[in-house]
Structure 1
């Protein structure tokens, strides 16, 4: 069950289908006016030397382009830096913020668009409903499928002390453009890790105490698609990519109406202390969670074997006790996730020592 009433928001506009990217210029022009007539593009660094793709983007002379390094998780310090550069670029605010890439790039676009219109440091907005002002009109274009960031009300950020999202109705992108052709160049390993992010948060929501009929419907259908794709039941790659775009939308909505659990809590600890990328981190953690998600774990291992992807191991072998304690503290602080796993009395069901033992297996 959900413990607090909430009227949920979704993106206001969707554009879906092969070749949709060619219409981006039309979508941007609709939002420009006499005073706000320029655009900020945040683009995954992968496309920096992909002239064919860049030439398809309607980048004008007044526009500002950031190529986003995605090796690390989104950071509050960089959100502040991008915000300052945007405010210094023109005397007026941009009409549109475009985020094109995976979850990292889309979360940067969502968070930076909000910080342009809200004062202070982005770390001070990590939490629920702390944003006061609507941000810049944001269009996101996913180029991998699974994070759900394109429909999520959260922009997940790593700050100086915690990994926690800016979460509110304003964080939802205003518009999403889905073009499965953009997924064609995604390496098999990245495709698996991102797809498993979707699969795992569906497993967590379906087995959690916060699940309701809406969240369950989204998660069940999303995971039905994930399993078809990663057990090779869909032979055509373009069709499989298009299906995963749908799975990602539904998976993102499943955790809007429900919540994640053990895996994401521990994955946040890896991200803050070791900088482990989210999709990879989730797979590293889930690889140790057979006790908590036995059915989901078994199917996860089957999909891993079929895809031939190696999950990193031994990444915590050189960690100090101080680092382990920091990971535990990060995970322990995510009370809403533990509440979803065990209920309001969650502290009776798991200890910091048990969490540390799990980290030491990774």
Structure 2
């Protein structure tokens, strides 16, 4: 099905890899071929509700990190080397949803049975070849530069400019060829995650192995599940359990997590009924192939008069990828990071005909432009005053391990 979807100039393939989650409505969703497109370059949110209200069908797409500029009146000067737009949504001509052993095909202009037969006849492996040479990854920062910047950020925290900041660094390769579908397949084989995504807009690709949910809506309830807190996996079961226990008890990781929980509660309180916003789960430990993560769940009941654009304005970008207070943290991110985040720490997701939605956090991802043959990925972590710069750097490499392995 994924190979078939890759035929189209625009496609979005989201796979939960069978992670059990009460908020996941679908095991897998595939959307291809755009009937309508929404991608304005300015006054985005003022136009978003019109697009949302006029199209009562499925809508898929993304929110880029730099939508923050419109929301908060900020500016970004770094170069967008991949080329994803700040916002892109599309109404697909075909949507396929999978739940357990049932596939449901929705199509605006084709017979579902013919689509099903077409997918069954898809020959796997067509036009799939790995890179013809070893990909030479470069870093936008030397290790010593990274350590110095973290110490500078901690001085901002000491002065009270912010109390937590998510700082990211870029690794990139120029003039490279990859087969995106094959690379994505390798990535999710190494690191299957509940919010993985193969997302393609013509020549631009997102190969995403994200474990994190940004925001989900079911009927009148909204959920957010920020991740803050990371520990390595261990092949020895007993030692692996110790890693989980140590993460659960780690005061630094818990303090980072609760700061973001408070930020998310504050965001949701702008759009939810008074007294309904609460932490449904605090400091939950979830295990993935590469790492253990500390995840909290915050939920609330939406006010009846709130629009989709107002929900996005109140909650985006997600606090787990900015820091707190959010606006000042984003100003410092722009000052000290060396590259444009573009779709990294943005979100990809869907809106259903029932007006429910689910959006991920774009992390643990490879970005690739097949036209200019530029590839990059970004990794980062939450910096507090008590953070150890050396350990933060090592955590970045840990988070990137699956990506590095997939690119070999």
TM-score (norm 2): 0.27
Q: Report the structure, 1 or 2, having the larger helix content.
A: 1
Q: Report the structure, 1 or 2, having the larger strand content.
A: 2
TM-score (norm 1): 0.30
